[in-house]
Amino acid sequence: MNYAKNILETIGNTPLVQINHITKELPCQVLAKVEYFNPGHSCKDRMALKMVEDAEKDGRLQPGGTIIEGTSGNTGMGLALAAIVKGYKLICVISDKQSKEKMDILRAVGAEVVVCPTNVEPEDPRSYYSVSKRLAEETPNSWYVNQYDNPSNTQANYEQTGPEIWEQTKGRITHFVVGVGTGGTISGIGKYLKEQNPNVKIWGVDTYGSVFKKYHETGVFDENEIYPYVTEGIGEDILPENVDFSIIDGFTKVTDKDAAVYTRRLAKEEGLFVGMSAGSAIKGVLQFKEHFKPDDVVVVLFHDSGSRYVAKIFNDDWMKEMGYLD
């Protein structure tokens, strides 16, 4: 019989799918690493399991313990799967900007969800950074994951996603493009790919309202770059330790409107029902157009599934309200 002994064994080995229509104007091939094929429907299953296993190994996480994390949803889902199989409790601290589906899904897989206001400073005691830290201090036998600064996040992508992409493209990849939040995806995959071939270009997709692009270009943490935005999963108002700026060749910023419009195009034109940061990522690829030559093989990573955004980008009324439908 051929079966997985539990759901965690089905994580990884996601397909690489050619983009056939949206990128027609480019001279080269574009392949998407479609991470919604993971059991928690996002790339974050990989790093969530790795963070839990590493914490078990060095005793930060003890039997029967409580896992606590500030998460925009996808990491929470990955942690929930690990917590169920391994017998831990999970508390997810989430900001009120996140979609209601994400909160409902986390509750469905047994997590306790604590909702915090989005538009407060990270140092504010109401912010989800502060609330997660406080809960970790107050809860006995608990472990605060901290995906932003936890090296197992990058390591999971270095050990799994990077080698998968290298093998799937038979080493022919020339460019890797991906949205950046905690930085674990770009840093882990980018480091692995550059070790195999230092000529592979690693490009980050940022969002308006986030500090990454300006910081990468100038070395200045500019608070004027920080303002509210709609795109979920990418961009930050902090510099997470998992963003390795030294392996990133450049950033481009994508607007919320373009992210929403291109996510809908991926569903309609490619049959890829993906989340909003995938729209940012594919628009990012198009914005790097002048860098591509005919023999290039561009890999773009789509982090999650469209099912978490049905009330938003896949809802025409919401799109009209936001001014995203012309």
Contact 130, 124 (CB under 8 A): yes
- Choose, by CB under 6 A, the member of 40, 70, 162, 184 that binds ligand PMP: 184
* AA letter at 169: T
**Of these, 40, 70, 179, 279, which contacts ligand PMP (CB under 6 A)?**
179
Pick from 14, 98, 150, 182: which binds ligand PMP (CB under 6 A)?
A: 182
Instruction: Clarify whether 102 is annotated catalytic.
Output: no
Q: Kindly state the smallest distance separating residue 255's Cβ from ligand PMP, in Å.
A: 16
- Give the three-state DSSP class for 115: strand
Q: Which of 83, 92, 202, 234 binds ligand PMP (CB under 6 A)?
A: 234
For the segment 51-70, give every residue that binds ligand PMP (CB under 6 A): none
Q: Which is nearer to ligand PMP, 65 or 70 (CB)?
A: 70
Residue closer to ligand PMP (CB basis): 47 or 65: 47
Catalytic residue among 5, 33, 44, 100: 44
- Phi/psi at 206 (5° precision): -115, 175
Name the residue nearer to ligand PMP (CB basis): 216 or 303.
303
Picking from 78, 70, 74, 129, the residue whose alpha carbon sits closest to that of residue 94 is 70
Task: Please pick, from the candidates 65, 76, 181, 306, the single residue that binds ligand PMP as defined by CB under 6 A.
Answer: 181
- Counting residues that bind ligand PMP (by CB under 6 A) gives 18
Of the candidates 137, 255, 157, which has an alpha carbon nearest to the alpha carbon of residue 206? 255
CA atoms of 301 and 281, how far apart (whole Å): 7
Q: Which residue has the tokens 């809802």?
A: 315
Start-end of H helices in the chain: 44-57, 74-86, 100-108, 128-138, 151-156, 162-168, 184-196, 212-218, 256-270, 276-287, 316-321
**Residue 258: φ, ψ to 5°:** -60, -40
- Interface with ligand PMP, residue 277, by CB under 6 A: yes
Segment contacting ligand PMP (CB under 6 A): 62-70, 80-88, 89-97, 182-190? 182-190
**Residue from 74, 95, 150, 305 binding ligand PMP (CB under 6 A):** 74
Contact criterion met (CB below 8 Å) for 11 and 49: yes
279 near ligand PMP (CB under 6 A): no
Identify residue 186 by its one-letter amino acid code. Answer: I
Q: Is 233 in the site for ligand PMP (CB under 6 A)?
A: yes
Asked if 185 touches ligand PMP (CB under 6 A), the answer is yes
The distance of closest approach from Cβ of residue 313 to ligand PMP in the complex, given in angstroms and rounded to an integer, is 12
Asked if residue 275 binds ligand PMP (CB under 6 A), the reply is yes
Which residue(s) pair with 115 in the sheet? Answer: 94
Taking CA atoms, 51 is separated from 48, 58, 220, 297, in Å, by: 5, 11, 30, 31
- Contact (CB, 8 A) for 278 and 232: no
Beta carbon nearer to ligand PMP, 65 or 111: 111
Cite the active site residues: 44
Q: Which residues bind ligand PMP (CB under 6 A)?
A: 44, 72, 74, 179-186, 232-234, 275, 277, 303-304
